[in-house]
Structure 1
Amino acid sequence: MPAGDIDLIAPLGTIDAGEAGIRVSGNVNIAALRVVNAANIQTQGKSSGVPLTASVNTSAMSSASAAGAAASQAAEDAARSQQAAARQGRPSIMTVEVLSLGNEPLPQEPAPAQKTSGYNPDSPVQVLGAGPLSEQARARLTDEERKQISL
């Protein structure tokens, strides 16, 4: 069976090779304003009108990856050796300066002024034991309450 040629012409349109692509056993000629998915066009003969696709050099990528891994490993080894050297070079003597043992007297400060709290016997809230009870307050207590506060 002889090789087959393809001529695809879309003067004002787009040729889209799509997911399935275009495979030709012979030559391919494409004429269009726009060619999409040109990476999916394969030919065994000559091709014209097919835009060039950027091919990726995967061996260069794997070489770059290997070089990056080697550089990373070298950096880790250098960091480990620096840490080991720092551990070995640490001084074993420490100097401690004691500032206070806690039993020194505090500097004398003036004593705070004593606040005298006033007690209002006419207040609606009466507090037992906050100052002397007046005769009027004692009169309001029951015998049981007088025994409890031992008045």
Structure 2
Amino acid sequence: MKISWGTGIVIAIISFITFIMVMVVTMVSDKAYNHDLVTDNYYQKELKYQEDIDASKNLKKLEYPLSVQKVTEGIEIVFPKDLAPENIKGKVFLYRPSNKALDSEMNININQHSMLISNEVLVSGRWDIVIDFTYNNQKYFHKEQIIY
């Protein structure tokens, strides 16, 4: 049986559409392809963005900087020396872009102007660290990417 060029084009188009539909269904339904948003409360965080900008400016006004550094025990967050550790209240959020299950949030627990995030919490790779704290009713915000 001989296939005409019109029939060949129709078969090619139907084959292509079938291939695309199989790929779409596979990508949407397969659990191996994770389609999580960066954050569940995206719009609420977007509305809070200006507050974060103002809090970042407050942090830059301090005499001593806040620093995040890798140490052998994990990641050390060193708070400014001019702030009294007992008055610093807030949270540290560790965001792992490649795996939402590794994200964690912890209260700030300061020992001698620094906080240590131990190796047990971290796996190697890229981390986004967000430090959101208040000191004497003044908000401060720091966001940094670190490769651990």
TM class by shorter chain equals under 0.3
TM-score, normalising length: structure 1: 0.20
Larger radius of gyration: 1
